[in-house]
Amino acid sequence: MVLRPAKVRRLAPLMRTLSTRTIQAPQKRHEAFYNSPEFRSWRAQVVFRAGNRCEYIEDGERCRKAHPAHRMYADHIIELRDGGHPFDVWNGQCLCAVHHEKKTFKARQLRTEAAWSGSYTQPSLPRPGCRVVLVCGPPASGKSTYVHDNASTTDIVIDLDVIARGYGYGRNRPEYITNILLQERNAMLAALAQEPAQRTAWVIVGAPTAKLRAWWCEALGVQQGDMVLLVPPLAELQRRIMNDPERKRICDLQLQWVDQWMMREVAGQ
């Protein structure tokens, strides 16, 4: 008798075989944006306008890094998550890798760590720990010159025009940059809460009307005698504006701001 081997029943594998074929993942939204023709066109315009050189201004000097020795980035001055226009060329600046990272970090820090709230122009602030001297007046009244002549080298100076220069802008700057400048100014004002009592901070604001100046004095704990109001005659303000090379391109606008400041001061509103 011939014995035949018993049939062995094969069991199905306990784990399903995984496919090793490459499957393309869906494109992420931010990748789709940065690869779009609109963004590539915007980037090309921003970098070309800058001459393929970093536009970051630090201590009054423009960064010397340029293409092709260094990679250039087209950066949104007001970031998209902060409401910046994605394809407005004037919301773009050309930055090297180091300054692009520095600017992005600063914007993130302002967004997440600012110790102030409320209005950009009249923020809710913690009480400063140091002495604050408030300098007020219309455009061309000499506020910056007064602070330069009276502040020491160890004092803190908070001036919107100085902050603007840090972003590469002079007095002639686009309107949409204003909120980001005020945001940084308010963060600097909030940081005064950490300063020791022996330091002095000089804060420059326009502040037409006694009511608005009183608000700033209360918000910053300005002591009696530490509020300086500079209001030269109207004719002198007009003369300074018309003879200032930095104000030449916005002369009419500056004259209009002076008129508005004076009208508000007289009306007390």
Q: What is the CATH number of the domain that holds 154?
A: 3.40.50.300
Alpha helices in 50-96 (DSSP H): none
Same domain membership, residue 263 and residue 185? yes
* Dihedral angle of Cα 228, 163, 195, 186, to the nearest 10 degrees: 80
Looking at the structure of the chain, the number of domains it has is 2
Same domain membership, residue 216 and residue 175? yes
**End residue of a domain, out of 85, 113, 141:** 113
Same domain membership, residue 39 and residue 108? yes
User: Of 74, 125, 82, which Cα lies nearest the Cα of 107?
Assistant: 82
User: Is the residue at 18 inside a domain?
Assistant: no
Q: Is 53 helix (H, G, I), strand (E, B) or coil?
A: strand
Same domain membership, residue 167 and residue 38? no
Is residue 202 within 8 Å of 151, Cβ to Cβ?
A: yes
Same domain membership, residue 108 and residue 177? no
Residues 15-37 as b/e (b if ≥16 CB within 10 A, e otherwise) read eeeeeeeeeeeeeeeeeeeeeee
User: Is the residue at 212 inside a domain?
Assistant: yes
Same domain membership, residue 153 and residue 71? no
Residues 6+ apart with CB under 8 A from 41: 87
Same domain membership, residue 209 and residue 106? no
Same domain membership, residue 241 and residue 180? yes
Euclidean distance between CA atoms 196 and 70, whole angstroms: 42
pLDDT at 109: 67
Task: Determine the longest span between alpha carbons in the chain, in angstroms.
Answer: 130
Same domain membership, residue 151 and residue 58? no
User: Is the residue at 145 inside a domain?
Assistant: yes
**End residue of a domain, out of 113, 140, 165:** 113
User: Is the residue at 187 inside a domain?
Assistant: yes
Same domain membership, residue 164 and residue 220? yes
152 residue type, one letter: S
User: Is the residue at 7 inside a domain?
Assistant: no
User: Is the residue at 161 inside a domain?
Assistant: yes
The pairing of beta strand 57-58 with beta strand 61-62:
antiparallel
Same domain membership, residue 258 and residue 173? yes
User: Is the residue at 20 inside a domain?
Assistant: no
Domain span including residue 193: 129-267
Same domain membership, residue 186 and residue 79? no
**End residue of a domain, out of 113, 139, 160:** 113
Burial class of residue 141 in the structure, from the number of CB atoms within 10 Å of its CB (0-12 exposed, 13-18 middle, 19+ buried): buried
User: Is the residue at 86 inside a domain?
Assistant: yes
Cis before 138 (ω within 30): no
269 residues of the chain, pLDDT tens digit each: 545 545 545 544 444 444 444 334 444 455 688 889 999 999 999 999 999 999 998 877 899 999 999 999 999 988 887 778 899 999 999 999 999 988 887 777 666 555 788 888 999 999 999 999 999 999 999 999 999 999 999 999 999 999 888 877 888 887 778 888 898 899 899 989 989 999 999 999 999 999 999 999 999 999 999 999 999 999 999 999 999 998 888 999 999 999 999 999 999 86
Euclidean distance between CA atoms 84 and 198, whole angstroms: 39
